[in-house]
Amino acid sequence: MPEGDTVWNTARVLHRALAGARITKSDFRVPQLATTDLSGWTVRESASRGKHLLLRLSAPGRSPAGRPAPDVHWTLHSHLRMDGAWRAYAPGERWGGRPAHLIRVVLHSPGAVAVGYHLHEMTLLPTADEDRLVGHLGPDLLGPDWDPAEAVRRLADHPEQTIGEALLDQRNLAGVGNLYKCEVLFLRGVSPWTPVGAVPDLPGMVALAQRLLAANRGRWTQSSTGSLHRGQTSYVYGRRAQPCRRCGTAIRKEELGERVTYWCPVCQPEHPDRPEPG
């Protein structure tokens, strides 16, 4: 599930493969960038911001007279959403990550080939203008700007919103997706339909979300239980009708906003103000 930790991991893979390298060939397979040629550009770094991936580049600068000038900094932005991925291959290695028709961009360098599959919102813009795409985001749970007090403040600004929807709103805190939303709420014993204003300990919930993402940083198996064994990595997420690991009650699955949510009706008792389903 591409959530904040997955994007963080992906950024590190691209950084190790490309940072400092000069691009020898680029192939964009999206209409808005189809004629873009990054040959000769240098990859400065790869970074993540919540669920957004930022590949920062230097384009060789030229003065109006054609003389060399300071490099111009650009950012290739992409969003993984639910199904996007980047893979790095050695030159000549077979690209086996996804079907070829899902490829959206290929970046060749002397030491590696980076292939982006089913990427969304791809944009090439000056690095100085990155805030146009990510400036609205709340504090990044895995970023150097992480500020738990600011995340709590943003959540508390919308007391009537359900906590399940508020945790997914990237303007509040950047990096939580559906998996971590469900797991954090279970571990805190809070129903997804509880209004933010009725959540007893918002700072504790925010702190737990950050700890879970940080614990999974650097590995691809996402676990909230501490186990990395298949079928044992979550308490409620993806476990509809299976017994709760705490009380044995069947886990439920239901729509909440535009996403589904999983919860235990005993360990996470419904808030009295929950609207009627449907």
Catalytic residues: 2-3, 51, 259
Amino acid at 201: D
Which residues does residue 89 pair with via DSSP β-bridges, in sequence order?
113
Scored b (16 or more CB within 10 A) or e, 106-143 reads bbbbeebbbbbbbbeebbbeeeeebeebbeebbbbbbb
Give me the residues paired with residue 263 across strands.
252
- CA 82 to chain CA centroid, Å, is 9
Q: At 22, list the tokens.
A: 């000069």
Inter-residue contact 178 to 1 (CB < 8 Å): yes
Three-class SS state of 124: strand
Question: Whose CA is closest to 18, among 59, 49, 57?
Answer: 57
- Can you tell me the distance from the alpha carbon of 28 to that of 107, in angstroms, rounded to the nearest whole number? 9
Q: Rounded distance, CA 71 to CA 69, Å? A: 6
Amino acid at 251: I
How far, in Å, CA of 191 to CA of 200, rounded? 12
Place of tokens 């997420």: 237
